[in-house]
Structure 1
Amino acid sequence: MAGSKGVVLAALFANGAIAILKFGGFLLTGSPSMLSETYHSVSDTGNQVFLLVGIRYSEKQSSRRHPFGYGKAQFFYSFLVAVLLFGIAGWESVKHGYDAIVHGGHGTAGTVSVAGATFPSWYVNVAVLFGAIAFESYALRKANAEIRSQIDQFGWSGLGEAFRKTSDVTSLTAFTEDTIALLGAGLALVGILLSKATGNEVYDAVAALLIGLLLMGFALALAWENKRLLLGESLPKDVEADLRDVIRASSGVVHVDTFRTVFVGPQEALVTADVSLDPEFTTEELDDAITAAETRLKEADERVQYVVIEPET
Structure 2
Amino acid sequence: MASSTTVVLAALFANAAIAVLKFVGYLLTGSPSMLSETYHSISDTGNQVFLLVGIRYSDKVASRGHPFGYGKAQFFYAFLVAVLLFGIAGWESAAHGYEAIVHPHPVAPGDVELLGRTFPAVYVNYAALLGAIGFESYALKKAYEGLSLQMDEHGWSTLREAFRKTSDVTTLTAFTEDSIAMGGAGLALLGVFLSRQTGNPIYDAVASFLIGLMLMGFALALAWENKRLLIGESLPRGEERDLKAIVARWDGVRHVDDFRTVYFGPEQLIVTADVSFDDGLNTGEIDERITAIERALVEREPQVQKVYIEPER
Per-residue deviation, residues 44-66 of structure 1 (Å, max 9, x unmatched): 10111101100111111112221
Alignment of 1:55-70 (within 5 A): 55-70=55-70
Give 1:13 deviation, angstroms.
Answer: 3.6
1:247 corresponds to which residue?
247
Alignment of 1:29-178 (within 5 A): 29-178=29-178
Cα distance between partner residues in 1 of 2:229 and 2:112? 49
SS in 1 for 2:180: helix
Query: Is the contact between residue 106 and residue 199 of structure 2 (CA under 8 Å) also seen in structure 1?
Result: no
SS in 2 for 1:308: strand
- Partner amino acid, structure 1, of 2:87: G
2:12 corresponds to which residue?
12
- Partner amino acid, structure 2, of 1:301: E
**Structure 1: which 4+ aligned runs deviate by more than 6 Å?**
none
TM-score, length of structure 2 as denominator length: 0.95
Gap change, CA 1:288 and 1:59, over 3 Å in 2 = same
SS in 2 for 1:104: coil
Gap change, CA 1:14 and 1:151, over 3 Å in 2 = farther
Query: Is the contact between residue 262 and residue 271 of structure 2 (CA under 8 Å) also seen in structure 1?
Result: yes
Alignment of 1:173-184 (within 5 A): 173-184=173-184
1:304 corresponds to which residue?
304
- Partner amino acid, structure 1, of 2:268: E
Per-residue deviation, residues 192-234 of structure 1 (Å, max 9, x unmatched): 1111221101111111111001100111000000001111110
1:231 corresponds to which residue?
231
Which segment drifts farther, 100-109 or 87-96?
100-109
Query: Is the contact between residue 25 and residue 122 of structure 2 (CA under 8 Å) also seen in structure 1?
Result: no
Gap change, CA 1:77 and 1:3, over 3 Å in 2 = closer
SS in 1 for 2:234: coil
1:275 corresponds to which residue?
275
Per-residue deviation, residues 166-190 of structure 1 (Å, max 9, x unmatched): 0001110111111111100000011
- Partner amino acid, structure 2, of 1:111: D
2:23 corresponds to which residue?
23
Cα distance between partner residues in 1 of 2:39 and 2:113? 24
Which segment drifts farther, 205-214 or 135-144?
135-144
- Partner amino acid, structure 2, of 1:290: I
SS in 1 for 2:273: strand
SS in 2 for 1:206: helix
SS in 1 for 2:270: strand
Give 1:4 deviation, angstroms.
Answer: 4.9
Cα distance between partner residues in 1 of 2:230 and 2:190? 38
Query: Is the contact between residue 10 and residue 139 of structure 1 (CA under 8 Å) also seen in structure 2?
Result: no
Query: Is the contact between residue 3 and residue 170 of structure 2 (CA under 8 Å) also seen in structure 1?
Result: no
Cα distance between partner residues in 1 of 2:124 and 2:24? 9
Cα distance between partner residues in 2 of 1:106 and 1:270? 59
Cα distance between partner residues in 2 of 1:108 and 1:123? 13
Gap change, CA 1:68 and 1:75, over 3 Å in 2 = same
Per-residue deviation, residues 9-40 of structure 1 (Å, max 9, x unmatched): 44324312211221121122221111110011
Query: Is the contact between residue 72 and residue 266 of structure 1 (CA under 8 Å) also seen in structure 2?
Result: yes
Query: Is the contact between residue 188 and residue 204 of structure 2 (CA under 8 Å) also seen in structure 1?
Result: yes
Gaps of 5+ in 1: none
**Structural RMSD (CA):** 1.5
